[in-house]
Amino acid sequence: MITGDDYDYLIKFLFLGDSGVGKTSVLYQYTDGLFSSKFISTVGIDFRVKKVAYKIHGKTKRICLQLWDTAGQERFRSLTTSFYRESMGFLLLFDLTNEQSFLDVRGWLEQLKVHAYCEMPDIVLCGNKADLEEKRVISPGRAREAAKQLGIPYVETSAMTGQNVSTSIELLLDLVMARMETIVDRALQPTKEPLVDRVLSPNMDTVHLVDSDKQSWSKCSC
């Protein structure tokens, strides 16, 4: 059980992509042996938690990462939309050996635009199963070009070998932390109003800054 004193930031990421691209395996690779997953049947979402230390301006911040997995509901094209809204970053995966999963990336981005907390949230695109070189149908060049057009970073991962698994999640964390810092900076500039009130947009009540609303800790289920 994590109490309010155990971390400085609670960050939620949602793993997206067609079924079979390896979302759960990537998550498993990233958190294996450290924390068990919890499946919440009412919302049909599985989540894992990992605590990481993050250096920002020479200070180390303790971050509680909640990693949300869609647990098969994407097969039915039904996704609990509140999880889009509450996520601060998205890891969008496709399978390098499956053309359709690559083509479907656009559809997932459309979904994100509609349901996420803003139109251009932080996303990292992952071409997974990079270890299956002989089965690969999406070349690195083609994937990079697509990612460039979409304006999102691209990483090739392998849940099997662990290649770039941490890298991709850390990259997403960098993006989210940078965005938060920008918002905090902006919030601090004009007035001396309490930080929390200004940082939290109505739809984004998941950034719990230190010493902010203590009651909300109890809502955190990690």
Partner 1 sequence: MALNPAYEAIGKGFVSQYYAFFDDPNERSKLANLYNQETSFMTFEGMQLQGALKIMEKLTALTFQKINRIITSVDSQPMFDGGVLISVLGRLQTDEDPPHAYSQTFVLKPVGTSFYIQHDIFRLALHDSL
Please report, as ranges, the residues that interact with partner 1 according to CB under 8 A: 18-20, 39-44, 46, 71-73, 75-78, 80-82, 221
First-to-final CA distance of the chain: 7
Query: Closer CB to partner 1, residue 45 or residue 92?
Result: 45
* Residues 24 and 46: beta-carbon distance below 8 Å: yes
**Residue 107 half-sphere exposure, CB side, CA atoms within 13 Å?**
10
Query: Closer CB to partner 1, residue 82 or residue 139?
Result: 82
184 burial class (0-12, 13-18, 19+ CB within 10 angstroms)?
Answer: middle
The CB-of-188 to partner 1 minimum distance in angstroms stands at 32
Query: Closer CB to partner 1, residue 39 or residue 203?
Result: 39
Query: Closer CB to partner 1, residue 106 or residue 219?
Result: 219
Angle ∠(76,81,85) on CA atoms, nearest 5: 150
The CB-of-198 to partner 1 minimum distance in angstroms stands at 25
The CB-of-43 to partner 1 minimum distance in angstroms stands at 6
